[in-house]
């Protein structure tokens, strides 16, 4: 079962290449979430990359739009569009906007950027699915810093009110945000208890362990009558030693030399994976 770790490695390499070329963007969260996106697009989702507007598809709503490099890389890896397009990220006229825009790129379900907005849209979609007895699901991805936004909790209350068990939220719990650690900027703990007191089923997982992440998704899916949240403990900048756990890499792109170093590390990891 090295297909998935290899896909995660490819996604990380794409993220680095995109950000070096774009000269701006957000590496830390993008790298840290590579396993979650791999699990989603290569294990969990009911989707068809050749038919992105398929009515029966599962919906992926990226609420923390700034980590879109990992979403774009995963979509390209899954075949939604050619990988060459990734290098146009953030450039004039590109469908790969600095934050996602509906209609610009196949596979994008929501426009995002201002934090807290995606989860509400995911709730709206899940509500339609539930009321119309559809069996597709909605997966909403949020950052932990994003939980500072009050709108998130408005949405959580409503999801619970309407028992949206077709909705799974995934929190990227990397404990970094722009000004520092989330423990310093605005403490979130006890986080699991917050969600469970809001009426959500909570699954906590090592977000950089693909098998554990896949298991967490199946736990979330099997819970009836409640929305589920997967708190994915991740390492920001995962896979690139000099970026790991450093909040300075939240919104700073690697330069060419740093990019080469990062790609070298990732290539070595890939060799090890292939030899396994």
Partner 1 sequence: MEGNPTSANLVPDVFAAAVPKKASRDGFGKALAELGEKDQNVWALTADVSESTRTHWFAEKFPGRFVQVGVAEQNLAGVAAGIAACGKKAFISAFAAFSPGRNFDQIRVSVCYSNLNVKIHASHAGLSVGPDGASHQILEDIAMMRALPNMTVLVPCDLEQAKKATIAAAALKTPAYIRTSRENTPVFTTPQTPFEIGKANVYRDAKDVAIFACGLQVFEALKAAEELKKKGIEAAVIDMHSIKPIDRETIVRYAKQCKALVSAEDHQVNGGLGSAIAEVLCELHPAPLVRVGVKDSFGESGNCAELYRKYGIDAAAIAKAAEEAVKLKSSE
Helix (H) or strand (E) holding 18: helix 3-22
Decide: is 129 part of the binding site for partner 1 (CB under 8 A). Answer: yes
Among 35, 109, 144, 172, binds partner 1 (CB under 8 A): 109
Q: What is the footprint of partner 1 within residues 155-194 (CB under 8 A)?
A: 155, 157-158
Among 20, 34, 96, 125, binds partner 1 (CB under 8 A): 125
- Ramachandran category for residue 130: left, alpha or beta (phi over 0 → left; psi -120 to 50 → alpha): alpha
- Cross-strand partners of 176: 181
Decide: is 94 part of the binding site for partner 1 (CB under 8 A). Answer: no
Decide: is 203 part of the binding site for partner 1 (CB under 8 A). Answer: no
Among 88, 151, 163, 181, binds partner 1 (CB under 8 A): 151
Give the per-residue contact string, 7-46, with partner 1 (x = CB under 8 A; - = no): ----------------------------------------
Cβ 61 to partner 1 shortest distance, Å: 8
Residue 161: count of CB within 10 angstroms of its CB: 11
Q: 100 is written with which tokens?
A: 């996602």
Is 83:76 a contact under the CB 8 Å cutoff?
A: yes
User: By C-beta, is 19 or 122 nearer to partner 1?
Assistant: 122
Decide: is 267 part of the binding site for partner 1 (CB under 8 A). Answer: no
Decide: is 254 part of the binding site for partner 1 (CB under 8 A). Answer: no
CB-facing half-sphere around the CA of 5: CA atoms within 13 A: 18
Decide: is 78 part of the binding site for partner 1 (CB under 8 A). Answer: no
| Cβ-count burial 181-206 (b if 16+ within 10 Å, e if not) | ebeebeebeebeebbeebebbbbbbe
Decide: is 234 part of the binding site for partner 1 (CB under 8 A). Answer: no
Q: Is 57 helix (H, G, I), strand (E, B) or coil?
A: coil
Q: Which stretch binds partner 1 (CB under 8 A): 20-28, 96-104, 191-199, 220-228?
A: 96-104
User: By C-beta, is 93 or 103 nearer to partner 1?
Assistant: 103
Decide: is 120 part of the binding site for partner 1 (CB under 8 A). Answer: yes
Q: Which stretch binds partner 1 (CB under 8 A): 4-12, 87-95, 126-134, 257-265?
A: 126-134
Decide: is 119 part of the binding site for partner 1 (CB under 8 A). Answer: yes
Instruction: Tell me how far apart the alpha carbons of residues 230 and 232 are, in angstroms, rounded to a whole number.
Output: 6
Residue 90: count of CB within 10 angstroms of its CB: 19
Decide: is 123 part of the binding site for partner 1 (CB under 8 A). Answer: yes
Q: Tokens 């790298």 — which residue?
A: 31
Decide: is 102 part of the binding site for partner 1 (CB under 8 A). Answer: yes
Q: Which stretch binds partner 1 (CB under 8 A): 4-12, 38-46, 152-160, 213-221?
A: 152-160
- Cross-strand partners of 141: 62, 170
Residue 68: count of CB within 10 angstroms of its CB: 28
Q: 162 is written with which tokens?
A: 């309407």
Q: What is the dihedral of CA 183, 187, 189, 194, to 10 degrees?
A: -150
By CB under 8 A, name the binding residues for partner 1.
61, 101-103, 109-114, 116-117, 119-129, 131, 150-151, 154-155, 157-158
């Amino acid at each position: 079962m090295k297909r998935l770790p290899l896909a995660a490695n490819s996604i990380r390499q794409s993220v680095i290449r995109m950000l070096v070329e774009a000269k701006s963007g957000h590496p830390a969260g993008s790298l840290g979430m590579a396993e979650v996106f791999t699990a989603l697009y290569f294990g969990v989702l009911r989707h068809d990359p050749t038919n992105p507007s398929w009515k029966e598809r599962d919906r992926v709503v990226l609420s923390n739009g700034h980590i879109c490099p990992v979403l774009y890389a995963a979509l390209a890896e899954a075949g939604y569009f050619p990988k060459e397009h990734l290098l146009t990220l953030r450039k004039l006229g590109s469908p790969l906007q600095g934050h996602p825009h509906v209609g610009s790129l196949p596979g994008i379900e929501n426009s995002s950027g201002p934090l807290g907005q995606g989860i509400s849209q995911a709730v709206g979609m899940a509500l339609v699915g539930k009321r119309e007895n559809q069996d597709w699901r909605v997966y909403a991805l949020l950052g932990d810093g994003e939980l500072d936004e009050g709108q998130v909790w408005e949405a959580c209350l409503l999801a619970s009110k309407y028992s949206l068990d077709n909705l799974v939220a995934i929190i990227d719990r990397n404990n970094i945000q722009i000004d520092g650690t989330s423990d310093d900027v605005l403490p979130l703990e006890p986080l699991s208890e917050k969600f469970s007191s809001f009426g959500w089923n909570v699954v906590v997982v090592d977000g950089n362990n693909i098998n554990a992440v896949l298991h967490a998704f199946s736990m979330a899916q099997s819970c009836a009558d409640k929305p589920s949240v997967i708190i994915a403990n991740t390492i920001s900048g995962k896979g690139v030693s000099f970026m790991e756990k450093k909040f300075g890499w939240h919104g700073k792109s690697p330069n060419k030399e740093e990019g080469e170093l990062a790609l070298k590390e990732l290539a070595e990891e890939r060799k090890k994976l292939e030899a396994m």
